[in-house]
């Protein structure tokens, strides 16, 4: 590695990879995170119902892509830092999404030579009363965005998301936006697949959603090849 470009294909032999389609979208009442559920070791699907949406602190969650081991370890460290910070304040103030994302960024940047981790950190900020999305791609930069997409499948849906995202959508509009976007990503990306998982984070609380292949991205009936009689 030359220090300028980062080799994203340096996974060790047999390492579990999250060839992934993930996204997080802010909306009127907060933020929604979405992910596919495929985990691969080479060509083998190690888990077809993976949960790539991981809780960091109450209403701060992240979407993980890259090495499963690396992203799990990073998430554990961020969780411990946040617990320390909120705890040292006698649990009087909630953790902020900004701080969580900053810790992710710091870890990803300082250890960039040893990590394969692309993370979207998103959450509902209790003090600002709004959803926030931070993208932390490989290399350890940080980008605050209205919505973020990442993972190998995201390359197929940049255009779709750019055309269809609107600020301040309703919950249902946002769920549909994510469902359709990830549906396309899964359809065209061989390393993404399985179900679509979502986490809705609002003032009201945390809600989990799941969407099965047949109701999202499988080939619509009218395009199916007719069965021979």
Partner 1 sequence: MTSIGTGYDLSNSIFSPDGRNFQVEYAAKAVENAGTSIGIKCEDGIVFATEKLVSSKLLVSGANKRIQTIDRHIGVVSSGLVPDGRHIVNRGRQESKSYKGIFKQPISIPQIASRLGNYVQVYTTANSVRPFGISTIVGGHDSQGYHLYMIEPSGVYWGYQGIAVGKGRQSAKSELEKLKLPGIKVKDAIKEAAKIIYTAHEDFKDKDFELEMSWISEEFTNGRHEFVPEDLLAEAKKYAEEDEDEDDEDDEDDEDEEMAE
Question: Where on the chain is the footprint of partner 1 (CB under 8 A)?
Answer: 81, 85, 88-89, 93, 98-99, 102-103, 106
Q: Is 114 helix (H, G, I), strand (E, B) or coil?
A: coil
Instruction: Report which of 38, 44, 51 is spatially closest to residue 193, judged by C-alpha positions.
Output: 38
Q: Is residue 174 annotated as a catalytic residue, yes or no?
A: no
How distant, in Å, are the alpha carbons of 8, 67, 90, 137, 225 from that of 144? Answer: 23, 23, 29, 12, 44
- Taking the least distance from each CB to partner 1, the nearer of 143 and 166 is 143
- Taking the least distance from each CB to partner 1, the nearer of 67 and 105 is 105
Taking the complex as a whole, how short is the minimal distance between the CB of residue 81 and partner 1, in angstroms? Answer: 6
- Taking the least distance from each CB to partner 1, the nearer of 89 and 207 is 89
Taking the complex as a whole, how short is the minimal distance between the CB of residue 102 and partner 1, in angstroms? Answer: 4
Taking the complex as a whole, how short is the minimal distance between the CB of residue 167 and partner 1, in angstroms? Answer: 26
Taking the complex as a whole, how short is the minimal distance between the CB of residue 210 and partner 1, in angstroms? Answer: 34
Q: Is the Cβ–Cβ distance between 20 and 120 less than 8 Å?
A: no
From the number of C-beta atoms within 10 Å of its C-beta (0-12, 13-18, 19+), residue 22 rates as buried
Distance of CA 197 to the CA centre of its chain: 10
Which residues are catalytic, by number?
Answer: 20
């Amino acid at each position: 590695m030359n220090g300028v470009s980062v080799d994203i294909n340096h996974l060790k032999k047999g390492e579990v990879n999250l060839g992934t389609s993930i996204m997080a979208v802010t909306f009127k009442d907060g933020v929604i995170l979405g992910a596919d559920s495929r985990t691969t070791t080479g060509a083998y699907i190690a888990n077809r119902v993976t949960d790539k949406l991981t809780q960091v602190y109450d209403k701060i969650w992240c979407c993980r892509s890259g090495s499963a081991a690396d992203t799990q370890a990073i998430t554990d460290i961020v969780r411990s830092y946040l617990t320390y910070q909120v705890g040292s304040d006698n649990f009087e103030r909630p953790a902020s999404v900004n701080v969580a994302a900053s810790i992710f960024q710091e870890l990803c940047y300082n250890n960039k030579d040893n990590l394969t981790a692309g993370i979207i950190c998103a959450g509902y900020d209790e003090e600002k009363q709004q959803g926030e999305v931070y993208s932390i791609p490989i290399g350890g930069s940080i980008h605050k965005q209205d919505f973020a997409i990442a993972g190998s499948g995201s390359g197929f849906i940049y255009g779709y998301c750019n055309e269809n995202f609107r600020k301040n959508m309703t919950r249902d509009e946002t769920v549909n936006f994510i469902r359709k976007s990830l549906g396309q990503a899964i359809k065209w990306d061989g390393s993404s697949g399985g179900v679509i998982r979502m986490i809705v984070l609002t003032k009201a609380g945390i809600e989990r959603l799941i969407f099965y292949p047949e109701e999202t991205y499988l080939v619509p009936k009218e395009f199916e090849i007719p069965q021979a009689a």
